[in-house]
Amino acid sequence: MSTLDLNIPISENSIRALHVGDAVRLSGVMVTGRDAAHKYMVETFIRSSSVPASERPLYAELRRLLRGGVIYHCGPVVRFTPLQPSPQGGGEEGGRWHFVAAGPTTSIREEIYEPEVIAHFGLRGVVGKGGMGPGTLQACREHGAVYFHAIGGAASLIADAVKEVVAVHKKDEFGVPEAFWVIRVAGFPAVVTMDMHGQSIHDEVEAVSAVALKRLIGQR
Amino acid sequence: MRAGLDDLTEHFIELVRRASTDLQADVEAALRAAQAREEPGSAAAGALEAILQNVALARANSTPICQDTGTPIFYVSHPLGASTRRLRAQMEAAVAEATRRAYLRPNAVDPLTGRNSGDNVGAGFPTFHFCEWGEDRLRVDLLLKGGGSENVGAQYKLPHAPLGAGRDLEGVRRVVLDAVYQAQGKGCPPGVLGIAVGGDRGSGTAHAKEQLFRPLDDVNPVEALAALEERLLRECNELGIGPMGLGGKATVLAVKVGAYHRLPACYFVSIATMCWACRRASMEVQDGEVAFT
């Protein structure tokens, strides 16, 4: 099986060329976002009539990063290394973050938000595990996006592909796992399991297992 | 406990580090065997290969196998006279320090404010089960249970008409297969199923989680349960859900079933689903010596 290299931001044509089962390596800047981040984006930016002034800088930054970009359902383990020596005693300015463990979290919890996030920000890809539902599949079709499946639990392996933590937003408010981490990745391994042509490996596997279940427990 | 071992905090930190970064040999062997059975070149084989690489890397670097380091669940068996209050304080201190050392992700979130406590200590967090036993040594078993697999755990009450499940082991078989089907790839298969038949809603759930400490290749001493475990393992893997839900032969690595007495009116089946990263570690303290397994 050959592996395709994709650079973020990704063009719609590159997305159109992808089909379920394709193995990819992603490189460029992506943003982590999970439960609190999705709720926040939808409530603060998408469904609200006006974005509060305090949230506008982050809104502008996310629009810039996510246009043609990729959101990663991930709550990492991070480590902070202070710069040495640190005469000021160091705050978070005086050091850098890095990802110690960074596998995907279960994506289906974001199903109620993801179609709106894809449409609003112009996402080309969602990275997670376990697959998503019909709303996201439809949004992928309409807006030219795919779902990339990363290996759940392969946290140390994936952390190796995270080359730099560029920035972090909402860390204090949402906590480390739920913050928006802006990361530069190189050769991030994933497989396309939902494409923009309406195909979903998750739907196929569920259908196969439903037949097997019926055979195993039969009918009363 | 003897003098010199009054403060076990540093040893508890090591217990956490081992659980988070060093997958037990029986689990790794089961993953390797599962990989050998998948079709070469398939998504299932690829997923298991990545998993095995990750296990080796985490061990070599002493970094978490999975970023979701889960709820630390401590089962403590202690001799007569041990202070569970002090042990608890030491384990909480160890968990906070292990979080600072990045062996654990800060995972304790206040459900009312959404605030993360930052050190894995909070109301009812971590989870502790203390039990006095007849031995003169202290034993601590730790399970790190991630949220993805916890979310797909289930509790059924029998009878369950839609599944045609009555109040017997055949009924248990039916609901367990349904739970694994419902979970699909969301709980990071192939993992371990801990099942408790009976008990109340609380004791059943705790007993189901206790099953996850059993070595994967042990045989249940209760013949009927041993037969059920074997059959469920075979049938769960006939569902075709496969590693990470991408399709394939390995959906479950092992099935472990315990039974508690139940009320006449109640028949619960509690299912604790554990992901492939079945992170458990144990330590024993006796005669001034600390041993990890």
Task: Indicate if the pLDDT at residue A89 is higher than 60.
Answer: no
Tell me: ipTM over 0.95.
no
Do B78 and B162 have their domain in common?
no
User: Which chain B residues are Cβ-neighbours of A159 within 8 angstroms?
Assistant: 63, 67
Does residue B57 belong to any structural domain of this protein? no
- The total of structural domains in chain B comes to 2
More reliable by pLDDT, A45 or A83:
A45
Does residue B42 belong to any structural domain of this protein? no
Confidence of residue A182 (pLDDT cuts 50, 70, 90): very high
Strands A162-169 and A95-101: unpaired
Q: Dump pLDDT digits (tens) for A138-172.
A: 999 999 999 999 988 789 889 999 999 999 999 99
Q: Do A205 and B242 touch (CB under 8 A)?
A: yes
Do B138 and B165 have their domain in common?
no
Task: Indicate if the pLDDT at residue A90 is higher than 50.
Answer: no
Task: Indicate if the pLDDT at residue B104 is higher than 90.
Answer: yes
Residues 35-74 of A with CB under 8 A from B: 36, 74
- Give dist(CA A184, CA A166) in Å, integer: 7
Do B159 and B270 have their domain in common?
yes
**Helix or strand or coil: residue B7?**
coil
* Å between B87 CA and nearest CA of chain A: 27
Burial of B19 (0-12, 13-18, 19+ CB in 10 A): buried
In this prediction, residue A94 carries a pLDDT of 76
Residue reference for tokens 């297992």: A209
User: Which chain B residues are Cβ-neighbours of A73 within 8 angstroms?
Assistant: none
Question: Which DSSP symbol is given to B116?
Answer: B
A159, A192, B254, B45: CA torsion to nearest 10: -90
Do B107 and B140 have their domain in common?
yes
Burial of A220 (0-12, 13-18, 19+ CB in 10 A): exposed
Does residue B52 belong to any structural domain of this protein? no
Confidence of residue B274 (pLDDT cuts 50, 70, 90): very high
User: Which chain A residues are Cβ-neighbours of B116 within 8 angstroms?
Assistant: 174-178
By CA distance, what is A100's nearest residue in B? B63
Do B142 and B235 have their domain in common?
no
Does residue B206 belong to any structural domain of this protein? yes
Active site residue A38: yes
Task: Indicate if the pLDDT at residue B285 is higher than 90.
Answer: yes
Is residue A105 a contact partner of residue A75, using CB atoms and an 8 Å limit? Answer: yes
The verdict on B169 touching A (C-beta cutoff 8 Å) is no
Does residue B157 belong to any structural domain of this protein? yes
Q: Dump pLDDT digits (tens) for B113-164.
A: 999 999 999 999 999 999 999 999 999 999 999 999 999 999 999 999 999 9
**Contact partners, residue B222, CB within 8 Å, separation at least 6:** B259
Confidence of residue B3 (pLDDT cuts 50, 70, 90): very low
In this prediction, residue B51 carries a pLDDT of 96
* Å between B180 CA and nearest CA of chain A: 10
**Helix or strand or coil: residue A200?**
strand
**Helix or strand or coil: residue A97?**
strand
Residue reference for tokens 């376990």: A130
Is residue A148 a contact partner of residue A190, using CB atoms and an 8 Å limit? Answer: yes
- Give dist(CA A33, CA B236) in Å, integer: 33
In this prediction, residue A150 carries a pLDDT of 95
In this prediction, residue A52 carries a pLDDT of 96
Average pLDDT of the residues in B221-235: 98
Question: Chain-centre distance of CA B275, in angstroms?
Answer: 8
Does residue B207 belong to any structural domain of this protein? yes
- Give dist(CA B51, CA A158) in Å, integer: 11
Q: At B90, which helix (H) or strand (E)?
A: helix B84-100
In this prediction, residue A92 carries a pLDDT of 59
Of all residues in chain A, the percent with pLDDT exceeding 70 is: 94
Q: Of B187, B123, B118, nearest to B153 (Cα)?
A: B187
The verdict on B247 touching A (C-beta cutoff 8 Å) is yes
Q: How far is CA B136 from each of CA B10, B15, B79, B80, B90, rounded to the nearest angstrom? A: 21, 20, 5, 8, 20
Do B188 and B233 have their domain in common?
yes
In this prediction, residue A71 carries a pLDDT of 98
The verdict on B246 touching A (C-beta cutoff 8 Å) is yes
Q: Dump pLDDT digits (tens) for A21-68.
A: 999 999 999 999 999 999 999 999 999 999 999 999 999 999 999 999
Average pLDDT, chain B: 96
In this prediction, residue A152 carries a pLDDT of 84
By CA distance, what is A103's nearest residue in B? B67
Do B141 and B154 have their domain in common?
no
- Measured over all CA atoms, what is the biggest interatomic distance in chain B, rounded to whole angstroms? 59
| Other Cβ atoms within 10 Å of B258 Cβ, number | 20
Taking the model in full, what pTM does it have?
A: 0.93
Range in A119-133, A144-158, B225-239 the model is least confident about: A144-158
- Give dist(CA A190, CA A70) in Å, integer: 12
Do B105 and B175 have their domain in common?
no
In this prediction, residue A153 carries a pLDDT of 78
Average pLDDT of the residues in A11-18: 97
Does residue B128 belong to any structural domain of this protein? yes
Of all residues in chain B, the percent with pLDDT exceeding 90 is: 97
Task: Indicate if the pLDDT at residue B10 is higher than 50.
Answer: yes
User: Which chain B residues are Cβ-neighbours of A213 within 8 angstroms?
Assistant: 177-178, 181, 239
Do B261 and B173 have their domain in common?
yes
Do B175 and B266 have their domain in common?
yes
Q: Please provide the DSSP assignment of B225-290 as one string.
A: HHHHHHHHHHHHTTS---GGGSSSS-SEEEEEEEE----TT--EEEEEEE-S--EEEEEEEETTEE
In this prediction, residue A88 carries a pLDDT of 54
**Helix or strand or coil: residue B175?**
helix
- Domains located in chain A, CATH noted: 3-217 (3.20.130.10)
Do B95 and B218 have their domain in common?
no
Task: Indicate if the pLDDT at residue B35 is higher than 90.
Answer: yes
Angle at which helix B9-21 crosses helix B43-61, to 10 degrees, equals 150
Q: Dump pLDDT digits (tens) for B174-189.
A: 999 999 999 999 999 9
Is residue A9 a contact partner of residue A48, using CB atoms and an 8 Å limit? Answer: no
Do B137 and B162 have their domain in common?
no
Task: Indicate if the pLDDT at residue A104 is higher than 50.
Answer: yes
Task: Indicate if the pLDDT at residue A86 is higher than 90.
Answer: no
- Which domain does B230 fall in, by range? 148-274
Q: Of A169, A171, A155, nearest to A105 (Cα)?
A: A155
- Give dist(CA A83, CA A92) in Å, integer: 10
In this prediction, residue B2 carries a pLDDT of 47
Q: Do B178 and A217 touch (CB under 8 A)?
A: yes
Q: Which two tokens stand for residue B110?
A: 């206040």
- Give dist(CA B197, CA B225) in Å, integer: 10
